Amino acid sequence: MKSELAAKERKLVDYDEDLVNTDLKEVSFDYDIIKMEAVDASGLGKKEDNIKVLTNLKLKKTNCRVIGLRSMRTRMPPNGRFRI
């Protein structure tokens, strides 16, 4: 019984760790987006290139979230609930 509980708690910790890693990646993209928006707002670089870079960063951020959610969903128990 204790080993079962320990295994489930470890799995829960793994899920939390994955969420933290996904959030960290998203924050990194947010930081890059803010920097690029500042560059664009200050008139530096070509407007068209700035838009392309911003769009690319936003897509990467979205993909990061989608991949994180898919990863969580595929490892989720069938009923969607964790029992400890």
In a domain, 8, yes or no: yes
Structure tokens that stand for 56 in this block = 């690319």
Average pLDDT over residues 19-23: 88
pLDDT for the residue 14: 86
pLDDT for the residue 55: 97
3-state secondary structure 7-73: HHHHHHHHHHHHHHHHHHHHHHHHHHHHHHHHHHHCCCCCHHHHHHHHHHHHHHHHHHHHHHHHHHH
In a domain, 36, yes or no: yes
In a domain, 41, yes or no: yes
**Cβ contact 29:11 at 8 Å:** no
pLDDT for the residue 30: 96
In a domain, 81, yes or no: no
For residue 24, give its domain range. 2-75
Q: What is the pLDDT of the chain when averaged over all its residues?
A: 86
pLDDT grade, residue 36 (50/70/90)?
Answer: very high
Model-level pTM?
0.72
Average pLDDT over residues 37-57: 96
As for how many domains the chain has, the answer is 1
